[in-house]
Structure 1
């Protein structure tokens, strides 16, 4: 059985759900799962985020990985773990979150936006690092990190979309987090628009694999 990190890298796309509505977050998550994107990160900006994580895990079980994003404290880490979160993501390296993850036995993927910050995450043996905000550091940064720390796996998040997703993979991304457009598309075009967007992302990746 693949572990969490292996599944994230295999699936390539992590849906990052960031909204101020529980119902909206649930609809976005379930719509993207329906079109075949089965890696979900529910951020703590979602009201009752741990409860939504628990709801999604109960409904989809092991078929879908559901993580918790924007984790800033060990209390948040514990609450999400207790609701069956598969992984935790922090916007930058937060020692108490990384230590809580180790104590609980749940992967923690920390954010970084400099070579020093990427290197700092390695003391917790987290070989997958979230590059955030990706649109600020740019794709060349990923190439630089890979050349210096080849063992690290990178997940750029922030500004990744259908127009540039392949650029990130060409630069060395192992998987990507996509979220900034999801709420906008859902509010404008509803479930139909969101499904079309999810399908488009998968088609872009599939075409690149077969080229």
Structure 2
């Protein structure tokens, strides 16, 4: 049975920082800045070289209240390797069979109403709305009219300035990748990263106030 407290932590934080880069070498320093700035859920994408090792390192490095998951999980082998390394949740841009049964929550990707409902009916505690930039907060608001129980995590191309709009439209949490991480993984300013992270955390607080 997946640990529901992990999903509760993701939802409570409101923002999942999506760490994607050619290599995961800078993820340790980036994660420290994100957590110090109020971001408490991190997704390490498996397209980043060294991602599995980074997941294990972050689990050792970061405080217990921070949850660390694996992203872009496209097969059972990657899912098992991620969980063995300490991933507390698994995220995919699509619906992938065979990712459950590992004791951690899985958040499949979907876009259309039919796909989202089908994913939710598998028991997924959150459905990743992807790519969110192809639609917008009003799309989620419209979905919640006839489908008020959906727990959706929009991800993909979301700007920090749009976080509050997505949350007030009914998102359970929001995934932020490039607009949050910026150039921090390639030597960019960690101070600028901290500023972006604080603005994202402030947007969550504003939307929920």
TM-score, normalised to structure 2, is: 0.91
Question: 3-state SS of the aligned residue for 2:175?
Answer: strand
Matched residue count: 206
The answer for the alignment partner of 1:5 in structure 2 is 7
The answer for the alignment partner of 2:79 in structure 1 is 77
**CA deviation after TM superposition for structure 1 residue 189, in Å:** 4.4
The answer for the alignment partner of 1:28 in structure 2 is 30
Deviations 1:107-151 (A, max 9, x none): 100011101111111332113111011010222221232223222
In structure 2, what is the Cα distance between the partners aligned to 1:170 and 1:117? 22
The answer for the alignment partner of 1:197 in structure 2 is 196
The answer for the alignment partner of 1:133 in structure 2 is 131
In structure 1, what is the Cα distance between the partners aligned to 2:135 and 2:142? 11
Higher RCO (C-alpha under 8 Å, 6+ residues apart) = 2
| Structure 1: unaligned runs, 5 residues or longer | none
TM-score, normalised to structure 1, is: 0.90
Higher helix residue share? 1
Return the match for 1:59 from 56, 61, 68: 61
Does the 8 Å CA contact 2:105/2:125 hold for their aligned counterparts? no
Question: 3-state SS of the aligned residue for 1:62?
Answer: coil
Does the 8 Å CA contact 2:167/2:207 hold for their aligned counterparts? no
In structure 1, what is the Cα distance between the partners aligned to 2:132 and 2:29? 26
In structure 1, what is the Cα distance between the partners aligned to 2:188 and 2:53? 27
In structure 2, what is the Cα distance between the partners aligned to 1:68 and 1:184? 19
**CA deviation after TM superposition for structure 1 residue 57, in Å:** 0.5
